[in-house]
Amino acid sequence: MSNAGQSWPPVETEPAVPHPKAPQPGSKLGVHYSHCFGCGDEVEVGLHLQSSVTDGPEVVSEFAVTEAHQGAPGLAHGGLLACAFDEALGAAVGNLLRKPAVTAKLETDFVRPVPVGSTLFITARLDGVAGRKTYASADGRLDAGDGPVAVRARGLFVTVGVEHFTTHGDKDALEKLAASARRRREEWDINP
Ligand SMILES: CCCCCCCCCCCC(=O)SCCNC(=O)CCNC(=O)[C@H](O)C(C)(C)COP(=O)(O)OP(=O)(O)OC[C@H]1O[C@@H](n2cnc3c(N)ncnc32)[C@H](O)[C@@H]1OP(=O)(O)O
């Protein structure tokens, strides 16, 4: 069943104002972590999303669907499509707000099949902020930015402190990632 009729965002929100140091429209967004299944260049069968910022501001991510991403023969697996939207929405939240946030809720509407060999153009936007909660939504269009909509998604992202990752994740890998971000002079607001 489509969630299109439900009120979104589901709570009262403030406009999501991009961070002053958010990437400017036209910027290509690099890999945020080389081992990320969504964008990482060291995950051979990953999704390899490539994202950039547009006016709006929005983040457009391209997902080239390959045989490694099949569910039914010749068609993308729905779970991997949801993964692509998690990545695309997360990239919009993370890059535009420059605050670490994790997905708390993700809803997807699969509107039409996504064939192997197609490219999904996923446009993600921030719909509002309520305290630590950021609401975001995205449309995925087949083979062009103005192609037919194949998938829609919306999600809730919750801002977390760096301890979320040091407590629950791989601290050594995180320190390497932070050092690499410092070299690239990326600036983050890490306190929710
Ligand atoms: C350059 C960089 C690029 C960066 C690019 C990055 C791209 C990466 C994209 C992938 C992102 C991921 O997959 S992240 C991985 C998947 N996600 C996770 O592992 C998250 C696991 N869950 C958690 O750790 C936790 O549940 C949290 C952090 C989400 C929330 O826990 P908490 O910190 O204790 O906060 P809590 O009070 O529970 O929740 C805060 C508020 O959110 C609400 N809330 C929490 N969960 C939900 C929910 N499912 N549905 C509705 N509402 C919810 C609560 O009611 C509350 O509202 P109120 O009382 O304030 O009103």
Summarize the confidence of residues 6-18 as an average pLDDT: 96
Percent of the chain exceeding pLDDT 90 equals: 85
Please state which of the ranges 28-37, 159-168, 169-178 shows the lowest mean pLDDT. 169-178
Please give the number of the atom of ligand 1 that sits closest to the Cα of 158. 29
pLDDT bracket for residue 188 (50, 70, 90): low
- Ranges assigned E (strand) in 117-192: 119-130, 133-142, 149-159
Which amino acid is it at 154?
A: R
Over 90: is that where the pLDDT of 111 sits?
A: yes
Q: How far is the CA of 67 from the centre of ligand 1 (A)?
A: 32
Task: List active site positions.
Answer: 86
Q: Which phi and psi (to 5°) does residue 152 adopt?
A: -125, 150
Query: Are 137 and 156 within 8 A, CB to CB?
Result: no
Summarize the confidence of residues 29-37 as an average pLDDT: 94
Q: How far is the CA of 159 from the centre of ligand 1 (A)?
A: 7
Q: How far is the CA of 146 from the centre of ligand 1 (A)?
A: 31
Q: Supply the pTM of this predicted model.
A: 0.95
Domains of the chain: 28-183 (3.10.129.10)
Task: Give the three-class secondary structure for 60.
Answer: strand
Query: Are 128 and 153 within 8 A, CB to CB?
Result: no
Q: Which residues have any ligand 1 atom within 6 Å of their CB?
A: 32, 38, 86-87, 90-91, 94-95, 102-105, 131-133, 156, 158, 160
pLDDT at residue 3, rounded to an integer: 58
Q: What is the ipTM of this complex?
A: 0.98
Q: What is the pLDDT of residues 51-86, one digit of tens each?
A: 999 998 999 999 999 999 999 999 999 999 999 999
**Residue nearest atom 53 of ligand 1, based on CA coordinates:** 104
Q: Is the backbone of residue 168 left (phi > 0), alpha (psi -120 to 50) or beta?
A: alpha
Q: What average pLDDT does the structure give for the chain?
A: 93
